[in-house]
A and B are shown apart, each in its own frame.
Chain A
Amino acid sequence: ETGVTQTPRHLVMGMTNKKSLKCEQHLGHNAMYWYKQSAKKPLELMFVYNFKEQTENNSVPSRFSPECPNSSHLFLHLHTLQPEDSALYLCASSQEGSSYNSPLHFGNGTRLTVT
């Protein structure tokens, strides 16, 4: 399997539930990202992990909790979400270097609905 894989593709959860989104990249990249896409808004960067270390937390509420156990896997743990958190959550990876940058490679996303 190649590229960036996200599971599940669709998720419906209540506000009191706890769920996790999973992302796996098979590209040998060293950086992984979580983005949120809401209707009529630009993709919003949530978290960045570089060599498994979190290097960016873009003022994301604590009800979203990322986990990066290794450079190929990234999770987003969700708890006590709000209906306005309903969105498409996209995982991406890239190869970061000191003198170059590479394009982001995205997964197909998880469509999250909070009821």
Chain B
Amino acid sequence: DQQVKQNSPSLSVQEGRISILNCDYTNSMFDYFLWYKKYPAEGPTFLISISSIKDKNEDGRFTVFLNKSAKHLSLHIVPSQPGDSAVYFCAASVSSSGTYKYIFGTGTRLKVLA
């Protein structure tokens, strides 16, 4: 049973436009959400996070929105740039016996067209 779902395996966006990546989760105990970006042959790199006590967090071109009632979060990238082309993973964490477990989605491949 997948607790974190990214239902769109891929997304193509024109350069300069907005990219919206979506993520749904099922476990209401999750209290911290993260987005990671992954280029080929590299490990995932942390992009932005949001605590469950907030509904929005912004960092430059990247904004994450959290809708707890819908158990949904999204990552907005604006304006999108060709260098943003990568696989984006959504992750959620919950504390278990004093350790945080991070559960990942399957990823969405973003392609920004020049």
- Chain A residues engaging chain B, CB cutoff 8 angstroms: 4, 6, 31, 33, 35, 40-43, 45, 48, 50, 55-56, 90, 92, 94, 96, 98, 101, 103-109
Q: Decide if the interface of chain B is mainly helix, strand, loop or mixed.
A: strand
Residue of A nearest to B47 (CB): A103
B32 is an interface residue with CB less than 8 A from chain A: yes
Residue of B nearest to A41 (CB): B106
Contact A42 B44 (CB under 8 A): no
The complex places the Cα of A45 from the Cα of B4 at a distance, in Å, of 13
Contact A109 B103 (CB under 8 A): no
Residue of A nearest to B32 (CB): A101
Contact B99 A108 (CB under 8 A): no
- Max count, chain A CB within 10 A of own CB: residue among B2, B96, B100: B100
If A101-B32, A105-B46 touch, whether A56 touches B96 (CB-CB below 8 Å) is: yes
Contact A108 B43 (CB under 8 A): yes
B102's partner among A40, A50, A104 (CB-CB below 8 A) is A104
Chain A neighbourhood of B34, CB < 8 A:
103-104
**Distance between B30 CB and nearest chain A CB, rounded to angstroms:** 11
B104 is an interface residue with CB less than 8 A from chain A: yes
Which chain B residues numbered 11 to 62 have a C-beta less than 8 Å away from chain A? 32, 34, 36, 41-46, 49
Residue of B nearest to A44 (CB): B104
Which chain B residues numbered 86 to 114 have a C-beta less than 8 Å away from chain A? 89, 91, 93, 95-107
- Max count, chain A CB within 10 A of own CB: residue among B49, B95, B101: B101
B100's partner among A41, A94, A108 (CB-CB below 8 A) is A94
A106's partner among B45, B49, B101 (CB-CB below 8 A) is B45
Q: Supply 15 further A-B pairs (C-beta < 8 A) apart from A98-B98, A101-B100, A106-B43.
A: A42-B4, A45-B101, A45-B102, A50-B98, A50-B99, A55-B98, A56-B96, A92-B43, A96-B98, A101-B95, A103-B46, A103-B49, A105-B46, A106-B36, A106-B44
